[in-house]
Structure 1
Amino acid sequence: MNSFYIALNMLRRTLLQKKGFLIYVVIPAAVISFIIGVVGQQHTNQSNIEYINADRGPLGAHLVHELSTLPDYQLTEAPSEQSLKEHVIKQKVSAAVMIPEGFSDTMMRGSTAEVDLFQISLNESTYSLKLNLDSTLSRYKEIIDLQQSIGLQNEALADAVEKTIVQMEKHQVKAAVTDYDLYTNPNMSTVIGFMLLFMMGLINNTVTVIMEDRRHRTMARMYTAPVRSAEIVLGNFLGSFLVGTLQVLAILLFTRYVINYDYGLPFLPHFIIIEFFLLASMGIASAIAGMVKNSTNINIINSIVITPTSMLGGCFWPISVMPDWMQKISNFVPQTWVIDAIERMASGQTLSEMWMHMGILSLFALILLGVGSVILKPGEAEAS
């Protein structure tokens, strides 16, 4: 019961204080939502492709029509070859296609005609475009070879090829694509990373309240009262945990149901795994606070600890881009495990399969909270 009163006092001094709800709940939810609005949304913009059709025959027009039906590209006709090349060099377009003069005549003679593809660098979009070009040209050559094999020549050949290509462009047989949603938003790790970074900073504020009690000898008077030390420690950390839980709820509810950001996993598993990280964050903050005698220095010390561990944990960039030795070190920070757990659940795994992640986060919390609870006992008065 005494722990309950201590926890309520922590809530009164934080959330129920003047402007406390704004600082501890509203502002964090607003900042995280702003981050999601800037970097979190997954865009599916089409790649801009310019083209020039110098061919006067029918096959050049058919090739342009075929490319225009591809859903991943936005085709635009360039006014000149010079303009086309300049737009590619200045990266105003992803790539450019130039159909040469005499393209249809070359194909009708049974030869392979080349189509010029201009690009600055090879990427997924341009590589896919090259594959589609090669596939279409290969189909045209197969049609012409087939018609020539039955003895068609000149106008009869051209007429038969035209009718076959027109029928082919109707795409009466299509592949059905079933999306099992087994991929995650590539920007989600950044969103989660900034959320964790912000949460760790907020937890420091609640632990600072405990440090203030120690500095003003309020905690010393509590230990002289007929209250067990375990109840005092439990009450302080329970109060901090309740404040952090309200912050987590506000952030998740606001980003999910107001911003409508799709995390790719249900609310409850997401909330539970963040709660485990909350305990680990409290342990880090309390362990640091216990080693700092002057409360004015805690924010500086926390920045020295929070920023590097967040970098190692994948909050700013994927862990896979770091050297092997840094990837091994990243296993010793809690951010790594919570981000990995959320990405795994977003890919289809269940919360029960995250037993190792929750166990490691619990181990972080138990060790660091144990250290912090011992160190944060009242000691000598701070120097004023």
Structure 2
Amino acid sequence: MRDILWLIRNTLSSTFRQKKNIIMYLCLPLIGIFVAILAYGGEQPMTLHIGVASHDQSYITDDTIKFLNDLDNVKITKINDSEVQDKITSGALDGVITFKSGYSGSVLNGDPGHIQITSIKGAQVTSFVKSYLYRYIDNISAIAKAAGGDQAAFKTMYHGFQGTGFKLKAHSLADTSKNKDMAYQTIGFLIMIMLMSAGNLSEIILLEKENRTYFRLLSSPINARKYIFSNIVVNMIVMTAQILITLTVMTTIFHIDINVPFWEAAGVMLIFALIAIGLSLVTVAFSNSRSAASGLQNLIVMPTVMLSGCFWPVEVMPESVQKIADFLPQRWALDTLTKLQDGDVSHIYLNIMILFAFAIAFFLIAIYKFGRNNDTRNFV
């Protein structure tokens, strides 16, 4: 045990003696937080500026305009026909709604028409307006059909519709979707850094073989198992620090609510740390030099990180690519955190078992390959 502790202390001191390693291992994971804030932190509710040109003088038209004016995030401006093109092309208005002559008559006849929506921003504007406006018009048209041409009955039902007898109280709820997106982006970046850090720390084995330090150590009471185990412990110490620092800065300094208890999120990431270490040992076991290990690491880490959805939601990728992502541990780590955020714990134990299965598989492959490497004396 004393030998292992000496190896751990010696590896940590030699690694963090260089200030650049402190920045790379402990500060670099925080970049994901700033990227997430830049991507999602500046989003504000959008207010649509809609112009209204009315050629139908009717109380139904006036009430329709009033309905639009009462919508949240919509600002109505009355304009003339001559101003439509100029306001739209200059960007002063997001869209223009024109009520043509005969609009109120078409509504009363049960066949709404004589209304035009103009916008150069497309469905981004028109879909929002249509979803509310057309529903309102359909309700009035349904009342007209129910009245069956009886104007007195229509006005009675219409005024009852306009002046509903119940009160509605609105309470604003915090939008958690933005925090979830920011947490997802940050954790995805942290996963990439953990994989790279594990690879760099495991390459110390190859470095010390190249320097012949490894063989001098094995000539002492220290054996290969103790040496590899000490490297695994160093990896876990560094990645535990990365996880705790990143999650702490997220929640306490930037107040990003990850919607998961701190220790649950840390626990999932610690399981992934085992996967990262196992994968890094596999790359070292199959490499005969640091350059080969570094190239193999880059060949594995970056493509799998992108395919698994660490940089963007996996749902935006083609279905064929999503099936590939199901075979990647990064995807299962992110999926586990997402399920915890959504409160879906029915399959969480399956996710945890799959993550442990990845870790065990990588360690077994590394152990097998290290056991088959009998040419260490010729290592260059």
Aligned positions, number: 374
Report how far residue 85 of structure 1 moved: 5.5
Write the distance in 2 (CA, Å) between the matches of 1:53 and 1:167: 26
- 1:356 maps to which residue? 350
SS in 2 for 1:14: helix
Q: 1:236 aligns with which of 219, 224, 231?
A: 231
Relative to structure 1, the CA distance from residue 89 to residue 348 in structure 2 (aligned partners, 3 Å threshold; closer, same or farther) is farther
Deviation at 1:174, TM superposition (A): 3.4
SS of residue paired to 2:204: helix
SS class of match (2:34): helix
Deviation track 1:247-284 (CA, whole Å, cap 9, x = no partner) reads 11111111222122222212111111111111111111
Q: 153, 156, 163: which is aligned to 1:167?
A: 163
Mapped partners of 1:314, 1:181: distance in 2: 23
- Aligned partner of 1:306 in structure 2 is 301
Superposed counterparts of 1:127-142, under 5 Å: 127-141=127-141
Which deviates more, 15-24 or 308-317? Answer: 15-24
Distance 2:106 2:327 in 1: 64
Q: Does 1:201 align with 2:196?
A: yes
For residues 302 and 309 of structure 1, the distance between their equivalents in structure 2, rounded to whole angstroms, comes to 11
Q: Residue 8 of structure 2 corresponds to which residue in structure 1?
A: 7
Q: Quickly say closer, same or farther: Cα 1:215–1:85, change in 2 above 3 A.
A: farther
Amino acid at match of 2:301: I
**AA at the equivalent of 1:12:** S
Instruction: Answer 1 or 2: higher relative contact order, Cα 8 Å, separation at least 6.
Output: 1
1:187-198 matched pairs, under 5 angstroms: 188-198=183-193
Contact 1:265 1:346 in 2 (8 A): yes
Deviations 1:136-178 (A, max 9, x none): 223334556677866649xxx98x789656625xx84438799
Letter in 2 for 1:58: Y
Equivalents in 2 of 1:247, 1:181: separation in Å? Answer: 28
Cα 1:250/1:93, change in 2 over 3 Å: farther
Distance in 1 between residues matched to 2:58 and 2:291, nearest whole Å: 79
1: CA distance between counterparts of 2:184 and 2:92?
A: 29
Q: How does 1:1-384 map to 2 (within 5 A)?
A: 1=1, 2-15=3-16, 17-29=18-30, 31-41=31-41, 43=43, 45-46=45-46, 48-55=48-55, 56-71=57-72, 73-77=73-77, 79=79, 81=81, 84=84, 95-104=95-104, 107=107, 112-118=112-118, 126-141=126-141, 152=152, 167-168=163-164, 172-174=166-168, 185-186=180-181, 188-350=183-345, 353-373=347-367, 375=369, 379-380=376-377, 383=380
Give TM-score, length-normalised by structure 2.
Answer: 0.81
Instruction: Show CA shifts across 1:208-243 (max 9, x none).
Output: 223212221222222222234332221111111111
Give, in angstroms, the shift of residue 355 of structure 1: 2.0
Query: Which amino acid in structure 2 is aligned with residue 64 of structure 1?
Result: I
For residue 306 of structure 1, report the CA deviation from its aligned partner: 0.9
CA RMSD between the two structures = 3.8
Q: Which amino acid aligns with 2:25?
A: Y
Contact 1:265 1:345 in 2 (8 A): yes
Relative distance call for 1:25 and 1:188 in structure 2 (3 A) is closer
Contact residue 40 and residue 182 of structure 2 kept, 8 A: yes
How many angstroms apart in 1 are the aligned matches of 2:12 and 2:352? 27
Deviations 1:180-233 (A, max 9, x none): 999784565444322212221222222222321222122222222223433222
Q: 1:10–1:96: structure 2 CA closer, same or farther, 3 Å change rule?
A: farther
Distance verdict in 2 for CA 1:109–1:346, change over 3 Å: closer
2: distance between equivalents of 1:91 and 1:277?
49
Q: 1:152/1:78 Cα in 2 relative to 1: closer, same or farther (>3 Å)?
A: closer
AA aligned opposite 1:22 = I
Of 325-334 and 277-286, more deviation after overlay is shown by 325-334
* d(CA) in 2 for partners of 1:163, 1:102: 21
Letter in 1 for 2:206: M
**Could you tell me how far 1:381 is from its partner in structure 2?**
5.5
Once residues 66 and 373 of structure 1 are traced to their aligned partners in structure 2, the CA distance between those partners, rounded to angstroms, is: 70
Unaligned runs of 5+ in 2: none
Does the C-alpha gap of structure 1 residues 151 and 330 become closer, same or farther in structure 2, counting only changes over 3 Å?
closer
Is 233-242 or 353-362 further displaced after alignment? 353-362
| Structure 1 gap segments, 5+ residues each | none
Matched to 2:353, the amino acid is: G
* Paired amino acid for 1:310: V
TM-score (norm: length of structure 1): 0.81
Query: Which string of whole-angstrom CA distances, capped at 9 and with x for unpartnered residues, describes residues 36-87 of structure 1?
Result: 112244845235242223244333332222123223x322427455764577
- Indicate if the aligned counterparts of 1:330 and 1:336 stay in contact, CA closer than 8 A: yes
Distance 2:68 2:313 in 1: 35
Contact 1:315-1:335 within 8 A present in 2 as well = yes
Q: Secondary structure at the match of 2:97?
A: strand
Question: How far apart, in 1, do the equivalents of 2:136 and 2:19 lie?
Answer: 69
